Chain A
Amino acid sequence: MADPIRWARYRWQRLIPTEGRECSSNNSSSKCYQLSKTTGKHRVVIPCLGHFKEEYEKLSKLYMNNKIRTTRYTLLTFLPRNLFEQFHRREKKYIDECWKNVNVGDFVRLSRNEIIPADMVLLYSSDPDGICYIETASLDGETNLKQRQVVRGYSEQVSEIDPEEFSSRIECESPNNDLSCFRGFVEHSNMDRVGLSKENLLLRGCTVRNTEAVVGIVVYAGHETKAMLNNSGPHYKRSKLERKVNTDILWCVLLLLLMCLTGAVGHGIWLSKYSEVPFFNIPGPDGKLSPPTLAGFYMFWTMIILLQVLIPVSLYVSIEIVKLGQIYLIQNDIDFYYEKTDSTIQCRALNIAEDLGQIQYIFSDKTGTLTENKMVFRRCTIAGQEYCHEENAKRLECYQEMDSKDEDSADCQCGSSAPTSKCQGNNWRAVCEPLNRKSMTQLSGRFSAFKRQEEAGDTSNSGHMAFSSPIETDVVPDTQLLEKFSQISFHSYQQSEKASSKSSLETMYIADFFLALAICNTVVVSGPSQTHQKVRLSSLSRMPIKSLEEIRQMFQRFSVWRLSSSPLPSVKESSSESPNSFVRKLSIFGMKLASPTLDGADERISEPHNTDSPENSQVPGEIHLVNVAAGGEPNHAVSSIELSPIPKLSYEAESPDEAALVHAARAYKCVLQSRTPDQVTVDFAGLGSLTFQLLHILPFDSLRKRMSVVVRHPVSNKVVVYTKGSDSVMMDLLRTASEVHTNNSEIEEKIKERTQHHLDDYARRGLRTLCIAKKVMSDAEYAEWLNHRFLAETSIDNREDLLLESAMRLETNLTLLGATGIEDHLQEGVPDTIQALRKAGIKIWMLTGDKRETAVNIAYACKLLEPKDKIFTLKSQSRDACALVMSKILEDIQDNTSVKKNRSEKLGNASASPSTQAQGFNSGLVIDGRTLEHVLHDSLQNIFLELTEKCRAVVCCQATPLQKSVLVKLVRSKLKAMTLAVGDGANDVSMIQVADTGVGISGQEGMQAVMASDFAISQFRHLRKLLLVHGHWCYTRLTNMVLYFFYKNVTYVNLLFWYQFFCGFSGTSMTDYWILILFNLLFTSVPPIIYGVLDKDVSAEILMELPQLYTMSQKSVAYLPSAFWITLLDAFYQSLVCFFVPYFTYCGSDIDIFSFGNPINTAALFIMLFHLLIECKSVTWIHTVVIVGSILFYFVFTLAIGATCKTHNPRSDFYWIMEKHMTDPVFYLVCLLTTCIALLPRYLIRVLQGTLFPSPVSRAKYLVRLSPEERRKEIKRWKDECNVNYRVKLQATSVPSS
């Protein structure tokens, strides 16, 4: 794709230090010199315009251009295009350009739905807020829209940016592959600097959506774009089996060398036997004969050419084909189909399917993997008072029932719609309450009609969208809390700020709590009418309390602090859903009513039309409204109030928790109405609509484990910080009594204590907990902080640290408001799957970022831990303590096991029943994140692993993504175990990549995990069939095929080798070259491939029922080193038989070379194919067709070559041989005898094995033949037996392993 020469040159240039050159390109002022010192790391972008031309050329010629080979620009189109462009250039218009002509410094203007050609900084967006929506699906697979923001200082420009007037310099970091990070600044001509972040960068490959036009300046082009730098090619994982095969192939090479050496030495000896040159040893073309030693040396190489078939090159090809076939079958397994998301398994790695059969350790994420990641608001505690939301719990129960009903049959949708409507109704009341009564009644008629439609859509589509199923969105408020909540009024709120009476304080807490829930997030609000188009609500008309003038003043005040905010855009934005557009939507809705069964495909087709028309036509309406607002016509404004809350707001959240919290807040009539970069509007029941000036958002990161927003409170007019985060970090950040001596401090202490108590309780119930806190700042404090923040934002080098530090400065001395408990449902079938996998001998670890109590709870819920297990918790502050604790636990376990062992031995002697013996000792280990750090240290790794080996389950909580991957790596490298990591979120990516097999769950948290994974499934329970059935099958199939391939090659090559003993080691082959070549290629290649793809030793049902069978493939029973050598031995035996039976039959007769070779060859074919039949566990018609086809093909081919090749050089001795043999009874007799003798031992051994020492697999095979009842009984008996064995084995191994 890429221009290779350019690319190479570019790489070369990057190697040469560019510091000096770039320095000279800058102005020689001292300041610039200082800058250019770091230009090795940074790049300077200057617009490609007339007055910067010179500088631009100096600077930018070193940058990569966007040249990628395309075929759009042909010679034919060049001239007219060029003229056209010249014309446009004079007109100072944007010209259409090919991607390859885009260079760094170019201005690029893109329209909607265009793909971004290079990484560029966004300078203008047609969106009044300076926002541009992009879809990043091609980069990370996430289909939601991302917001990008115009560089501050440009966003207020009303008209489109004029490139001619752009005179700033952009300095940013050198090209790198970090998609989530971009650092730089714009330096205006007056030396003002504005920081740039990834919010300002449009990445190449993304698509502009829902934004009419954007203009940006290119900063990275071509191969320097982040998308291209990220394209490191697929990571290649090689399966364990393949590694083993490689070593065995080395053995084959050794064998080949040995055989060739034998040939060489033999030839030398044979030659030296003759005192004079025999006349059948003809000299070379030059008439000279080489001495025996030299001839032997030459013969070595001749032999290598002759016998090279021994190196099974075709094996690699066949393995690949077989793997493709296996993957095809896995992908087509109907059991992996998950109807709710219409997704099935995706096999992204084609070459490690057989590793699925050898997994010993599974590392699982918790959220979204074991659980559904459907966050449901369950409980909250505010100001130390718990609200348990019993009604909500009841509602959830009703949903669960509904869910199960849904799964039972799709027909009961009508029945299940009843509870939905109830809940919906509830919800509706909540939303509509703030409405004007009159308009409510006006609209109610329409409502009922629409509601019906909505319900139908809801039930049929539930679960398809992220975080939007009714189970998540609808929260029934707690009555007690609702009562308190309803007391909140504007007045009381204002009072409560000053007064400190307990009741009013609580009121304030509650109000603040819900405001925090609604504000402190990054949820994007969008109306359903225009997808991803934010709802613009009139901030003016919906603030009836304050006059326009007041607000204007307020904004002006803010603009002191905010560099870029000006009151203008917010005024301009005052347009709302005009009645006009609402009516139009109704009409479109009517169309939908008419054809309710529109399927997805049709909808997609119709989308472009739909998107275009309303938005275009909306423009005049908008302008009209602006005029109206300016004119101050109150009537119209009122009408917009009436209509504005009607659109069902949809929240687009980055994480399900956020969505759950916002929905919870909405249930309490604290509705997040809109969010722009500058402000957040919340419709608060008692207070009316509040617009918060959004000063700052400190986004969530895994290091801080919290997020904060800084807003200007519209009521109190103070700067307020709302912080939301995990309780472990939040509790340390709270204001302590000793620091601030207010009269509230005592209460606060109490609240903190009680909240902590509640939090512990939530965690025990398996709820995810979040603490909500707030802090009020004075303007001076804020100004000081803002200064620091600004410095941090504009720095390039250690910006992260500085930002973190500034965040830390802000998030201190917080006041705890309360906490929330969110429930995460377990996925369907998780406990069964975990139990089955455990029975299959797989150790399961749960690695989660959640807190300990939650993690342990989920572990119990999904039967990872069982109630009778002994749980050891590893939690210590220092490394030494940690070591001590671990050794103590080890001792403890050992004591326990030895006691148990003694007892079990006694019991065993008394031939106790399995049930009593099964009461083994099990232990689980729980580690928290801080201890994990110590444990992963080199000195403690070994003891830790030893400890974990003895534990049934390991739960690591509060683990960072890095720790997860280190753990996986540790187990993988130290224990040499096959690991599988399964996860669904971005935090599991590193773990998935490190593990031998990475499984991604395409759940709710985007696509990163799926993109990084080798297999992507939609449900955790699919893992069971994937491993137990497909893993087992793939592994046994492939091993058997590989062994068969070795056997086949060694047998065939040995035939040639044995002949060397009878032709003076001269390298003659007794078969025609064509047949020799094609034997492996055509006649015997397809059956093993079919065998490798389709062979089925045990049926899927039995494999699922008896997970114990998995241990067969797990321990590589089918491909032990001995198996390879036994196969080789058998190959030697068979080749000996295959050669010497014809030899003794024909020796001394007038047989010629090819007539001798033909029965050998034919017999070899039969032997190999029948050998395959013996090894085949199941023979379908495909097998039959392929084997019969191979035989027929062989005969047709040899007959054809025998009939036609009378003069093909150098030898045509094969002429008519097959034809003659076909009429010769001896030929058939020889073939029959040879085949029988050759296969007899293997057949006999298989028979004896099957009779005397049946493997579990063959016993399982036998089960298929039984009647269902007998089978059930048999399986039960087997399970008991296996339990006993497993336990005995476990105890036996656990002692010596220490």
Chain B
Amino acid sequence: MAVNYSAKEEADGHPSGGVGVPGGGAVGGGGGAGAVKTRKPDNTAFKQQRLPAWQPILTAGTVLPAFFIIGLIFIPIGIGIFVTSNNIREYEIDYTGTEPSSPCNKCLNVSWDSTPPCTCTINFTLEHSFESNVFMYYGLSNFYQNHRRYVKSRDDSQLNGDNSSLLNPSKECEPYRTNEDKPIAPCGAIANSMFNDTLELYRIDNDTRTPITLIKKGIAWWTDKNVKFRNPTGDGNNLTALFQGTTKPVNWPKPVYMLDSEPDNNGFINEDFIVWMRTAALPTFRKLYRLIERKNSFQPTLQAGKYSLDIAYNYPVHSFDGRKRMILSTISWMGGKNPFLGIAYITVGSICFFLGVVLLFIHHKYGNRNTSADIPN
């Protein structure tokens, strides 16, 4: 209906009618047409959607270089990785003992805390010498350390040396939280199922067994050892006293403060323990056990030749069809031996290069399609 007919008159300023007494109703309507305040939107690039933009048009012609560049970069990287990976020496022995012929077959059905431990010795021969530092791993297969409930079954506060958590571990540790009404010192299933085989390596040189020095420190992450895992604090450094009031995990033969003789590798900061507590991502995994350092630059760390592995076989894996391995490996800047990455890079690089050629062909033949109007749609 009519919008303020007279409001206009007021603005018109008609003489005879008299002017300038705008009624109360004149608000709104056309009255808003002031010179200062208009509803005109700002003419900015953003509001008018005229921002300068890069408008990529994906056609064979424009992306050709990208494919060639990817190909040219990936193939050398791949070759580099592949060569590096191939230079890594790696030796692996399965000592589970499922085969009757295996020396460890007798220990197959061992339990957690059989005393004395079942021992077995496996002899092996290294074809090639290991030149640089050698990392000694133990490997487990078919062991689901990544099971959701298993992974959760630990108390990080306790491991970080929190005294209240020491005596009152987190509920997550159930059912390995308390034993006989005493809190378990590293509580939880992970700690409870800690790998407890002992591996010793001997070099057999003319029927003499010379033990090879296995360094047990430096196998855990520095941050784990120095920040994340802490022994409980209290007066004195006597771990036995500090762990007073706690009990050992059910499967362990001895409590946590007796894991090692050296005080800086004992208790929660025992490196074997720390390494075990870092749960593996996949059911087949290896964990660093010991380091073998190169003594001098003239001699390889491990010469080719005969070796024997003494195993104190404690860890029962037969029940879940698990396998146990000992792995000796050198490492490079990219970790252990793994040909996959190198091959993948070479393959992808080659594919890209090939696609580049195909696109070049396409571009040559159909490249001007966009512009030509005579395409039969």
Contact = CB atoms under 8 A, between A and B. Distances in A.
A1152 interface: yes
A1062 B283 contact: yes
Nearest to A581: B18
B137 A278 contact: no
Interface string B37-59: 11111110001110111111111
Contacts of B47: 329, 332-334
A144 B4 contact: yes
Interface stretch (A731-739, A843-851, A1176-1184): A1176-1184
A585 B20 CA distance: 7
Given A281-B147, A450-B13, A614-B21, 5 more contacts: A209-B24, A611-B24, A1033-B49, A1063-B283, A1233-B345
Interface in B1-55: 1-43, 47-49, 51-55
Interface stretch (B138-146, B199-207, B255-263, B294-302): B138-146
A1211 B151 contact: yes
B54 A1251 contact: no
28 contacts: A133-B25, A143-B27, A279-B319, A279-B320, A337-B39, A337-B41, A446-B16, A449-B15, A451-B15, A453-B15, A467-B2, A531-B6, A601-B34, A601-B37, A613-B21, A648-B17, A1062-B146, A1068-B148, A1094-B49, A1145-B340, A1145-B341, A1152-B281, A1157-B281, A1209-B170, A1229-B345, A1250-B370, A1252-B369, A1274-B373
Contact of B278 (A142, A1152, A1226): A1152
Given A604-B27, A607-B27, A1251-B60, A279 B2 contact: no
Most buried by B among A610, A653, A1094: A610
A291 interface: no
A1155 interface: yes
A608 B49 contact: no
A1062 B14 CA distance: 89
Contacts of B27: 143, 604, 607
A1153 interface: yes
A519 to B, nearest CB: 18
Interface in A582-629: 582, 584-586, 588-589, 591-593, 596-597, 599-604, 606-608, 610-611, 613-614
Interface in A1027-1085: 1033, 1062-1064, 1066-1068, 1070
Contact of B17 (A286, A344, A529): A529
A635 to B, nearest CB: 21
Interface string A465-486: 1111000000000000000000
A1151 B345 contact: no
B20 A591 contact: yes
Contact of B59 (A449, A1182, A1250): A1250
A1258 B345 contact: no
A1148 B285 contact: yes
Given A446-B15, A614-B21, A1151-B280, A1206 B151 contact: no
A704 B147 CA distance: 81
Contacts of A467: 2, 5
Contacts of B30: 341-342, 461, 464-465
Contacts of A1262: 57, 370-371
| Chain A contact patch, size range | 35 or more
Contacts of B269: none
Interface in A443-468: 443, 446-447, 449-451, 453-454, 456-458, 461, 464-468
A114 to B, nearest CB: 11
Contacts of B147: 280-282, 1063-1064, 1066, 1068
B376 to A, nearest CB: 10
Interface of B: 1-43, 47-49, 51-61, 63, 70, 74, 77, 81, 137, 139, 143-157, 160, 162, 170-172, 174-176, 189, 192-193, 221, 223-224, 227-228, 251, 278-288, 319-320, 322, 333-336, 338, 340-341, 344-345, 348, 351-352, 355, 359, 362-363, 366-367, 369-371, 373, 377
Contact of A1153 (B153, B279, B344): B279
B370 A1215 contact: no
Contact of A607 (B24, B286, B355): B24
Contact of A1068 (B23, B48, B151, B286): B151
A1203 to B, nearest CB: 9
Residue among B148, B251, B377 with the highest chain A CB neighbour number at 10 A? B148
Given A332-B41, A527-B17, A1247 B319 contact: no
Most chain B Cβ neighbours within 10 Å, of A596, A649, A1178: A1178
A1259 interface: yes
A756 B94 CA distance: 111
Given A600-B33, A1229-B77, A1274-B373, A608 B24 contact: yes
Contacts of A1236: 70, 74, 348, 352
A302 B149 CA distance: 12
Given A647-B17, A1152-B278, A611 B176 contact: no
B4 A465 contact: yes
A398 to B, nearest CB: 20
B236 to A, nearest CB: 24
Contact of B148 (A648, A1067, A1274): A1067
Given A464-B33, A1230-B341, A1147 B17 contact: no
Interface string A530-551: 1111000000000000000000
A143 B25 contact: yes
Contact of A529 (B21, B43, B251): B21
A112 interface: yes
A1246 interface: yes
Contacts of B58: 1174, 1243, 1246-1247, 1249-1250
A1096 B272 CA distance: 58
A1207 B156 contact: yes
Nearest to B172: A1210
Contacts of A611: 21-24
Contacts of A1152: 278-281
B1 A1005 contact: yes
A597 B20 contact: no
Given A279-B189, A532-B6, A532-B23, A1147 B18 contact: no
A16 B281 CA distance: 68
Interface string A650-681: 11111100010000000000000000000000
A454 B12 contact: yes
B377 A1179 contact: no
Contacts of B341: 1145, 1226, 1229-1230, 1233
Contacts of A1265: 57
A528 B24 contact: no
B362 to A, nearest CB: 6
Interface stretch (A4-12, A94-102, A175-183, A1277-1285): A1277-1285
A1189 B294 CA distance: 46
Interface string A1202-1240: 000011111111011000100001100110010011001
10 A-B pairs with least C-beta separation: A450-B15, A585-B18, A531-B23, A600-B34, A465-B8, A528-B9, A588-B20, A1156-B281, A646-B16, A647-B17
B223 to A, nearest CB: 4
Contact of A1207 (B14, B160, B344, B373): B160
Contacts of A531: 4, 6-7, 10, 21-26
A22 interface: no
A1240 B350 CA distance: 13
A979 to B, nearest CB: 27
A210 interface: yes
A1247 B5 contact: no
Nearest to A1147: B282
Given A466-B3, A1153-B279, A1179 B9 contact: no
A1155 B281 contact: yes
A274 interface: yes
Given A528-B6, A597-B35, A1178 B53 contact: yes
B49 A592 contact: no
